[in-house]
Structures are given as structure tokens and as C-alpha cells.
Structure 1
Amino acid sequence: MTERETRDAIDDVWDQWHRERPEISPEYLDVMAAVGRLNRLRRYIDQTLRGYFADYGLDSSEFDVLATLRRAGGVEGVSAGTLLRSAMVTSGAITNRVDKLTQKGLVERSTSVDDRRSVLVKLTPEGARLVDAILLGHIENEARFLAVLDDTERDQLNGLLRKLLVAQGDTHLG
């Protein structure tokens, strides 16, 4: 491969900063480049997921709630707090997502038998069918982003990303 074929847009950004601010150490520019690459990749992933979920009348955040409920298992549902920790958003955002999914007939709320003050959210049968119907396609969609990596590289990427998340304290959902 030529150098042109292995460079990305962030390499151009790096070069521009290095030309305009040569006193900034290359190590700092490398940090900026790594975060920039993560941000750009996140945008590409968001774009692709947005299109996939739109085909099913959902957005990514709604699928996140449905998938959280599906993988949590159990028929009683999960608390809004559990959804909140999983999604890393505000309680208002979770309420909004659950409201939209309730209107679509995909989730329902109930009161906990253990604590009448606690509200549980669970999938409706239609919601469970929808998650199961689109999950494999969603995973295949995500796999296309990593298809350029071999198994060893994918393991390395997972290890490095895990290390970054653990350093931020993102070690458990609940």
C-alpha cells in the first residue's frame, strides 16, 4: 500500500497542527489524533446504526433500551435506575425513551411487588419479538466496521478500549 492509501483524514489534521504549531509535542498531537479518530469512527457508526434502526421505526437510543430489557431477562422487568446506568444518560432521557416505547407498544411499566414506589419497565411480547428479529442484523451491521481487523487485532482493540473504560470507572452496569 502507498502512504496515501494508509493515511486518513486525521493524519491531515495532525500535519496541519504540526505545521501551524510546531512547538506542540508530537506525543500531544498523537493524543489528539487518537481521540479524533474515536470521534470520527463514532460518527460513522452512529450514521450506519441510525439508518438500520430507522427501517424498524426505532432510533439507536430506543434500541438500547429494548436490548437492555431483553438481555436482562426475567419477566418482572428492570428498574428505571438500571436502564439509566446502562445508557449513561439523564433520568429525563430514560423517561422520554420509555414513554416513546410505551406509545409504540414495545414496553410497559408496572409497580414492583417488593417496593410499591419502584417502577419496573419490561418488554411487551411485541417488543421482545422486535429485538429478537433485528438483533443479528444489528450485530452484522456492527461487524462490518471491524471486518478489516483480524482476530488478533480485534482482541487487541477490545483490550485497549476496555482499559480506557476501566480507567474512567466504567466497570459495572449496576
Structure 2
Amino acid sequence: MSDADTHDQTSATAPGPREISPTITPDAVDAVVAAWQGERPDLDLTAIAVAGRLGRVNLLLGPAQEWVFTEFGLQRGEFDVLAALRRSGAPYTLSPSRLSDLLMLSRAGMTNRLDRLESAGMIERSLDRADRRSFQIRLTEQGHATVDAAMTRHTANVTALLAGLTPRELTTLDALARKLLHHLTAPAR
């Protein structure tokens, strides 16, 4: 069998060009996929298109959320620390190691965030009564008020950013994202 015969058989079983519904406006990802389909018609590029769009959404959503934190004098990571303390419930106190685990952050990275938040009056460090070798991090009244206001604004901002989707589409997207995250974080078999 010649290379030409092999190519003909592969092309006969390979997926055809992806068609875009007339109700969907083509985007930059479609242009990339179309170019690759022209060069490699043997590949099913559906997953590439999805990953490309997820990447672009991430690049656009990140900065579109950051301005809210900046408005409150916070960086994203500092907001995350305050939010973790606030979500922990009264007395809004956690150990630095617990915060590091919750935020999947190195101990050194956590120390830098805690230093900045303590200087800003958002948190207090105190010796752990149960283990005098370690500290507890507590949300101050100022930190509590700041994170509550920032969370209110953050929620409204993200709601507005996703307003292009119907409630049903949001529910579907959430379910699909949850399924994908589960797949990506599941232990290798």
C-alpha cells in the first residue's frame, strides 16, 4: 500500500471540518482550528477548541476580577487569605499552615501575604494557646469589614461578567466545569 493510499484511507475515516452553527458568531479560536484543519484534516480538534476557549476565558476573567480587589487595596492573594478566614466562621481564626493548605500555597508565600495584611491592620497574629511554638491568624474588625465589602462587590462583578449566559446555561457550565475538574484532579489509575 502506498503513502497516498494510506492517506486516502485516513482521510476517509477522519472527522470532517467542524461546522459552526449559523447562530454562533465565529471567534479567534475558530480561525486557529480552521487553519489546523486545512493542514491536518486527520485530527479531531474539538478538544483543542474547548481548551483554547477555556484559556481565553481565563485570560479575560482574571483581570476583569482584579480591579475589585485593587479597589479595596488588596491583591488577589490577600483577598483569598481574608476570604478563607471569613469563611471559617467565628472566631475567624486559622493557623498559617491551615491557611497554606486551604489556599494551596507554600509556607513562604503565605508568610509574605500575612505580613502585608498585618501591616494593613486586616489580621492579627497571636501565639497559639494549645501550642506556644505556633501562631494563630485572626481576622480583625477592619479585615472583616473589608472582606465582606470586597466579597459583595466581587459577587456582583462576576455575576455581571457571566450575564451573557442564561441561568440554565450557567448551571450547565458549572456542571461541566465540575466534571472536568474532577477528571483533571483524580488520581492517576
Instruction: Tell me which interval the TM-score lies in, with the shorter structure as reference length.
Output: 0.7 to 0.9
Gaps of 5+ in 2: 1-20
1:125 is aligned to 141
Cross-structure match for 2:36? 17
Residue 124 of structure 2 corresponds to residue 108 of structure 1: yes
Whether the 8 Å CA contact 1:53–1:59 is kept in 2: the answer is yes
Q: Which residue of 1 aligns with 2:151?
A: 135
Other-structure match for 1:98 = 114
**Is the alpha carbon distance of 1:16 and 1:87 closer, same or farther for their aligned partners in structure 2, counting shifts above 3 Å?**
farther
Which residue identity lines up with residue 49 of structure 1 in the other structure?
Answer: Q
Question: CA shift at 1:118, angstroms?
Answer: 3.1
Residue 180 of structure 2 is aligned to residue 164 of structure 1 = yes
> 2:79 & 2:107 partners in 1: Cα distance?
17
Q: Once structures 1 and 2 are overlaid, which stretch shifts more, 130-139 or 113-122?
A: 113-122
Percentage identity across aligned positions?
37
Cα pair distance change 1:86/1:32, threshold 3 Å: farther
**CA-CA distance at 1:71 after TM superposition:** 0.9
Larger Rg: 2
Question: Which of 149, 171, 187 is the equivalent residue of 1:155?
Answer: 171
* Pairing partner for 1:8 from 20, 24, 27: 27
- Which residue of 53, 57, 61 corresponds with 2:69? 53
Gaps in structure 1 of 5+ consecutive residues: none
Would the aligned equivalents of 2:84 and 2:99 in 1 still touch at CA under 8 Å? yes
Look up the SS of the partner of 2:80 in the other structure: helix
Q: CA RMSD in A?
A: 2.1
- The answer (yes or no) to whether the contact 1:101–1:107 under 8 Å persists in 2 is yes
Secondary structure (helix, strand or coil) at the match of 1:110 reads strand
Note if contact 1:76-1:120 (Cα within 8 Å) is conserved in structure 2. no
Change (3 A) 1:85 1:8: farther
Distance 1:129 1:87 in 2: 21
Query: Is the 8 Å Cα contact of residues 125 and 137 (structure 2) preserved in structure 1?
Result: yes
Taking structure 1 as the reference length, the TM-score comes to 0.85
Work out the CA distance in 2 between the residues paired with 1:163 and 1:81. 29
| Residue in structure 1 matched with residue 161 of structure 2 by the alignment | 145
